[in-house]
Structure 1
Amino acid sequence: MPYSSFDSFDSFDFDLLVVGDANPDVVVGPLDAPLAFGQREQLVATGLLTLGGSAAIMACGAARLGLRVAFAGRVGDDDAGRFVRDALSARGVDTGALRLDPTLPSPLTAVVTRGADRAILTAPGTLADTGPDDVPEVLLTGSRHVHAASYFLMPKLADALPALFRTARVHGATTSLDTNDDPAGRWRSAGLTDLLAVTDILLPNAREALALSGVVDAGHREGGSDADVVAAARELAAAGPLVVVKTGADGALSHDGRTLRRAAPVPVEPRDTVGAGDSFDAGFVAATLSGLGASDALAFAAACGALSTRAHGGTGAQPTWDEAMAATTRNGKNQ
């Protein structure tokens, strides 16, 4: 049994179970010109090998905020997979349910930054084979909250998520989802509709919200207006979840189908925005589990996302609870 370490427990008490992607990120940049082919060599200021994957970064952010976090997913039984496992463990995340696949390589992502934007190239490795068998039921039934990320990168897991979320909710857990980007550009599906019905919190960025809702066609990569984003959040909330939208330099907003809330951006001097949305997710879940109301949780999450940009890579500058709360308080006083 791959999870025999859990089988000896009647229950396993975690605040948060994170399900999804984990991989090494190679982050280089900032590029000051278009990416050049033709065997041209371009020099950039920084390069970093760090932990990546939306789910993995979110898990680390939540652990940094003081939650007891378990991670479920799959990587290769290779140097990259062991790097991922060790990086998660070093940040306080339980990796007992991180399967090492002996036949497939670990995912690997290269991130090229340019200004506030970035290009992301991912070799999926084990992602396509990650499925429901990689998520032990004892963790679903023994965690206060279950979060899933990178929905479109793991089709087997995506198909099973509605059932997994239902199991978690039957046992008293709340649920959240960050779909991240859809490389195929399809975005909307019956399976996703079923999943939103059992999702308590949906955490897209503005462009993702527009594409998921259909308010703005997914092909329009530049996104829509603020009114479009609000309409998208309202439309998605009608499917069931509280919709919490990351709006970058504008802060964040949430919509529960009736009430629109906003959080102002937290001023920082960003060095790298990779993973900021995942740190935001961690902040919102942690704040909600701590009992903060919707407006306070939104402001706290905005602080977590902003503070995470102070260093290169997704996890190097993730804040503690006290750091994020102090930034939230300062930002509120300055409004």
Structure 2
Amino acid sequence: MPPAYDLLVIGDANPDVIVGPLAEPLAFGQREQLADSGTLTLGGSAAIMACGAARLGLTVAFAGRVGDDDAGRYVRDELTAHGVDTRALTLDPARPTPLTVVLTRGEDRAILTSPGTLTATSGRDVPHDLLTRSRHVHAASFFLQPRLAEDLPGLFATARAHGATTSLDTQDDPSGAWDPAALHTVLAGTDILLPNAREARHLAGPGGDTPELAATILAARVPLVVVKNGADGALCHDGRGLSTTPALTLTPLDTVDTVGAGDSFDAGFVAATLHGHPAHRALTFAAVCGALSTRAHGGTRAQPTWDEALAHTTLSGAPTS
């Protein structure tokens, strides 16, 4: 039976409230502070990645859990509007939808998340037929979903047994523990690891002091490591050698908001890989997708189409699946 989806995305989905930029540090003491903009938009690393991949033309399904509340219905409707199949998005009657507030200041940001259903999301939220009929399975926000983290190695094993490839973007670990045992288990079933430079250093442990060193260490555990390095571009290591790409600089491209840029990068890399491009070309395409996504507030509003991203890369025409 042929695959029903190009991509299954597993993980977090929530509304983001993005406020900023702040002109000074956040002040308590009941002080009122003003910011130039505030945006309510779809958030969650997995949700933003799913929307980006659908925008690039992949057929995408999403599996996860939100509350049976106004926020949860907003998430479901936004994913659907972006072309993502949400039949496996569970509406939980007992727990609220996660909420995230992003405060920006310059190029930095603070992220506050109320976990809600994230602590209840598990492998039971992922239908078996989606695992067995998707070409690729991507998971995000590993450390925010402890029950899903426990189940993820088994989910990846099932997907790979049915011919799928897998990828993981762990995102940050709020506890700061970066549990080596849990990571060892899940990385054993991961084909593509997609951290940013800071996360890569934590994941690599001792010796991973630079993105290049971290990628080299991690490439001994995962077939392909792809590290997002902000204004310095991105790099990948396949266990044999290192490839790099610069960050996209366009004029008059105006960077409005970098929230979700890494997730749009993930979508670009997976899309290019599924279309048969080698890692070094997928890297360049992904960097373009991440950069173009910063043209508007929120993670999904400026995500590029395949043709828009292609216009800024050296890929030789739109490939076929």
User: What is the CA–CA distance in structure 2 between the aligned matches of 1:162 and 1:250, rounded to whole Å?
Assistant: 32
Contact 2:193 2:222 in 1 (8 A): no
Q: Partner of 1:286 in structure 2?
A: 271
Q: Partner of 1:295 in structure 2?
A: 280
Matched, 1:275 2:260: yes
Share of identical aligned residues, percent? 70
Contact 1:28 1:48 in 2 (8 A): yes
- Which of 34, 40, 49 is 1:43 aligned to? 34
1:329, distance to aligned residue in structure 2 (A): 3.6
Q: Partner of 2:157 in structure 1?
A: 166
- Which of 186, 191, 199 is 2:177 aligned to? 186
User: What is the CA–CA distance in structure 2 between the aligned matches of 1:72 and 1:189, rounded to whole Å?
Assistant: 26
Q: Partner of 2:145 in structure 1?
A: 154
User: What is the CA–CA distance in structure 1 between the aligned matches of 2:293 and 2:46, rounded to whole Å?
Assistant: 15
* Runs of at least 5 residues in structure 1 that lack an aligned partner in the other structure: 1-9, 218-223, 331-335
Contact 1:196 1:241 in 2 (8 A): no
User: What is the CA–CA distance in structure 1 between the aligned matches of 2:3 and 2:240, rounded to whole Å?
Assistant: 36
User: What is the CA–CA distance in structure 2 between the aligned matches of 1:11 and 1:72, rounded to whole Å?
Assistant: 20
1:293, distance to aligned residue in structure 2 (A): 1.0
Q: Partner of 2:310 in structure 1?
A: 325
Contact 1:74 1:126 in 2 (8 A): yes
Contact 1:215 1:231 in 2 (8 A): no
1:32, distance to aligned residue in structure 2 (A): 1.1
1:299, distance to aligned residue in structure 2 (A): 0.1
Matched, 1:102 2:93: yes
Q: Partner of 1:221 in structure 2?
A: none
User: What is the CA–CA distance in structure 2 between the aligned matches of 1:325 and 1:197, rounded to whole Å?
Assistant: 33
Q: Normalized against structure 2, the TM-score is what?
A: 0.95
1:11, distance to aligned residue in structure 2 (A): 7.4
Instruction: Specify whether residues 216 and 32 from structure 1 end up closer, same or farther in structure 2 by C-alpha distance, changes over 3 A only.
Output: farther
Q: Partner of 1:233 in structure 2?
A: 215
1:101, distance to aligned residue in structure 2 (A): 0.1
Q: Deviations 1:195-225 (Å, cap 9, x if unpaired)?
A: 11110000000000001111479xxxxxx5x
Q: Counterpart amino acid of 1:289? A: L
- Supply the RMSD in Å over aligned alpha carbons: 1.3
User: What is the CA–CA distance in structure 1 between the aligned matches of 2:156 and 2:37, rounded to whole Å?
Assistant: 40
User: What is the CA–CA distance in structure 1 between the aligned matches of 2:290 and 2:273, rounded to whole Å?
Assistant: 15
User: What is the CA–CA distance in structure 2 between the aligned matches of 1:60 and 1:109, rounded to whole Å?
Assistant: 18
Instruction: Specify whether residues 216 and 273 from structure 1 end up closer, same or farther in structure 2 by C-alpha distance, changes over 3 A only.
Output: farther
Q: Partner of 2:235 in structure 1?
A: 253
Matched, 1:137 2:119: no
Number of equivalences: 312
User: What is the CA–CA distance in structure 2 between the aligned matches of 1:258 and 1:269, rounded to whole Å?
Assistant: 37
Q: Partner of 1:220 in structure 2?
A: none
Q: Partner of 2:53 in structure 1?
A: 62
More displaced 10-residue stretch of structure 1: 80-89 or 231-240: 231-240
Contact 1:266 1:328 in 2 (8 A): no
User: What is the CA–CA distance in structure 2 between the aligned matches of 1:171 and 1:272, rounded to whole Å?
Assistant: 39
User: What is the CA–CA distance in structure 2 between the aligned matches of 1:231 and 1:188, rounded to whole Å?
Assistant: 20
Contact 1:58 1:282 in 2 (8 A): yes
Contact 1:197 1:241 in 2 (8 A): no
Q: Counterpart amino acid of 2:86? A: T
Q: Normalized against structure 1, the TM-score is what?
A: 0.91
User: What is the CA–CA distance in structure 1 between the aligned matches of 2:121 and 2:40, rounded to whole Å?
Assistant: 23
1:189, distance to aligned residue in structure 2 (A): 2.2
